[in-house]
A and B are shown apart, each in its own frame.
Chain A
């Protein structure tokens, strides 16, 4: 059984069917790629899985639990972290403060405890060091470069120790050195047991990183398999080059 599975998801915006009975699944411990031409519904699929958008029909299962249309907060708590195509960090807070937003406390403890306990501070520093931002910890997040913001967003998710991370175009608009750095970080985390689902247009990145690739076109999945299989699939070639 797969760790995360979306079955028969439909989502329409007015007359446009962004997702048309689309199913995807992610095996535990894998790095799965999700590719497709612009407007094929990849980000919408992410939004439906993580609760940022309600699906019209279909269901999302995570570890055998039905999480269809649950709130983003609940889905995040269950262990699905995500990043955004246009990074969403908190620009007027410091890098360190950003790291602590995802660490929540229950009930009144939030009101009565300091924003950062020493062990949390330690953990946050380790993760910032892991993505190479440790020495910028006191800078305002808004002053970081685009690539650094992506890394910060990534680290922010990691502190909540998610089981699966959905990355929406992690390599988009980022220089090649950084892309390789990011790929290497993803591999390291994957070896530590975190599952990844990656939407990406950079084919080299996807093909080198992912064990399995799914291809979407016009709101449905048209192919899946190893990177080599997908690359030679005529339906995929047509989706990218045809019309």
Chain B
């Protein structure tokens, strides 16, 4: 098992790398780009909301700020279409950083439900600003990004695919690193009992803010990629409250606070949504599917797919190992006697 796991991951990575070569159809690659983009977003969102339990429903604000940051940089610095805008994606992340620090500093003063409400309010403040700061955002007319005219229709999606995949891999690496760091341990402690964590010396305020900023920057960079991919951005499409719900739903579906959960959730939800949109047009059937999915998750696996599956697998293995022991008991009575006294000794004191 130990050797199998990395092998599986390498295999998955290999599949992800050759995917656009195997399925060059632009419709398919577009679907995958959106799926990977949301996987990165959900992974980023999970760093604050999954690890610390602070459910943020305003991260679309950072998504939109990242998108507008890239659009404005391209516009003001006259960046031509091509590979250059990709280099500016980290810069868009840097633009999000101080803004998210400011918002996080305010929102993280409160907890639980109040925190959720404050983040929603912040999202709408930013959305209103996008509509009304016309001299920057051009109001509801929106902004256009440079068009990579050299790229043919067949090739167009390929650079976006790999850049999105790279962002997903980076955010997964960051998430994995945090989960295994002392900092991450503190975040989990905050999720379970914040005051107690503080009492044991965890720097709760600094940790929460750091997690908030890291997740916002990842979501902001995803927004920048998205903006370049869709070419023109408007307040209505960029600051879409559905995004807020979507990233939360994806993480919940896959498993909040797990590493792979948000990715799995994003792949399922986003691919399903794209499929429905292509099959039935823009009439919003997918919203019904959203609702149905949410209900199924809440009823049958409230902790999400990954934790539920992990539990089932563990139970299966325990059940199997017990069967093996029973078989051994039946065949070798002498050995079984030894085993039972051994367990008694190990039991120590009964609690």
Verify B199–A50 contact, CB threshold 8 A: yes
The count of chain A contact residues (Cβ–Cβ below 8 Å) is: 41
- Beta-carbon contacts under 8 Å, B76-127 to A: none
- Beta-carbon contacts under 8 Å, B166-213 to A: 180-186, 188-189, 191-193, 195-203, 207, 210
Q: In the docked arrangement, what's the CA distance between A160 and B188, Å?
A: 19
A52, A82, A101, A109: the one contacting B186 at CB < 8 Å is A101
B184, B192, B200, B207: the one contacting A91 at CB < 8 Å is B192
Assuming the contacts A72-B198, A73-B200, A104-B201, asked whether A110 and B182 have C-beta atoms less than 8 A apart, the reply is yes
Q: Is B350 an interface residue (CB 8 A)?
A: yes
Verify A90–B188 contact, CB threshold 8 A: yes
Verify A114–B180 contact, CB threshold 8 A: yes
B346 contacts which chain A residues (CB < 8 A)? 135
Verify A177–B350 contact, CB threshold 8 A: yes
- Beta-carbon contacts under 8 Å, B222-262 to A: none
The minimal Cβ–Cβ distance linking B174 to chain A, given in whole angstroms, is 11
Verify A115–B200 contact, CB threshold 8 A: no
B188 contacts which chain A residues (CB < 8 A)? 90, 92-93, 97
Assuming the contacts A90-B193, A181-B349, asked whether A156 and B184 have C-beta atoms less than 8 A apart, the reply is no
Q: In the docked arrangement, what's the CA distance between A132 and B347, Å?
A: 9
Q: In the complex, which residue of chain A has the Cβ closest to the Cβ of B350?
A: A177
Q: In the complex, which residue of chain B has the Cβ closest to the Cβ of A153?
A: B196
| Chain A 85-110 interface mask (CB, 8 Å, partner B; 1/0) | 00011111100010011101100011
The count of chain B contact residues (Cβ–Cβ below 8 Å) is: 28
Verify B185–A156 contact, CB threshold 8 A: no
Assuming the contacts A90-B192, A115-B180, asked whether A77 and B351 have C-beta atoms less than 8 A apart, the reply is no
A208 contacts which chain B residues (CB < 8 A)? none
B181, B186, B196, B351: the one contacting A112 at CB < 8 Å is B181
Q: Is B348 an interface residue (CB 8 A)?
A: yes
Verify B350–A156 contact, CB threshold 8 A: no
Q: In the docked arrangement, what's the CA distance between A176 and B351, Å?
A: 10
Verify B196–A105 contact, CB threshold 8 A: no
Verify A93–B192 contact, CB threshold 8 A: yes
Verify B192–A102 contact, CB threshold 8 A: no
The minimal Cβ–Cβ distance linking B75 to chain A, given in whole angstroms, is 36
The minimal Cβ–Cβ distance linking A94 to chain B, given in whole angstroms, is 10
Verify A178–B201 contact, CB threshold 8 A: no
Verify B192–A72 contact, CB threshold 8 A: no
A88 contacts which chain B residues (CB < 8 A)? 193, 196
The minimal Cβ–Cβ distance linking A98 to chain B, given in whole angstroms, is 8
The minimal Cβ–Cβ distance linking B190 to chain A, given in whole angstroms, is 9
Q: In the complex, which residue of chain B has the Cβ closest to the Cβ of A84?
A: B196
Q: Is A76 an interface residue (CB 8 A)?
A: yes
Q: Is A232 an interface residue (CB 8 A)?
A: no
Verify A160–B200 contact, CB threshold 8 A: yes
B351 contacts which chain A residues (CB < 8 A)? 132, 145, 147-148, 151, 175, 178
Q: Is A111 an interface residue (CB 8 A)?
A: yes
A104 contacts which chain B residues (CB < 8 A)? 182, 200-203
Q: In the complex, which residue of chain B has the Cβ closest to the Cβ of A113?
A: B182
| Chain A 102-130 interface mask (CB, 8 Å, partner B; 1/0) | 10110001111111000000000000000
B186 contacts which chain A residues (CB < 8 A)? 101, 110
A76, A113, A147: the one contacting B200 at CB < 8 Å is A76
Among all A-B residue pairs, the 8 with the closest Cβ atoms: A72-B199, A90-B192, A115-B185, A110-B182, A147-B351, A102-B200, A88-B196, A111-B183
Q: Could you show 14 A-B contacts with beta carbons less than 8 Å apart?
A: A88-B193, A90-B189, A93-B185, A93-B188, A100-B182, A101-B202, A102-B201, A104-B203, A110-B183, A110-B207, A115-B182, A132-B349, A132-B351, A135-B346
Residues of B within 8 A of A (CB): 180-186, 188-189, 191-193, 195-203, 207, 210, 346, 348-351
Residues of A within 8 A of B (CB): 50-52, 71-73, 76-77, 82, 84, 88-93, 97, 100-102, 104-105, 109-115, 132, 135, 145, 147-148, 151, 156, 160, 175, 177-178, 181
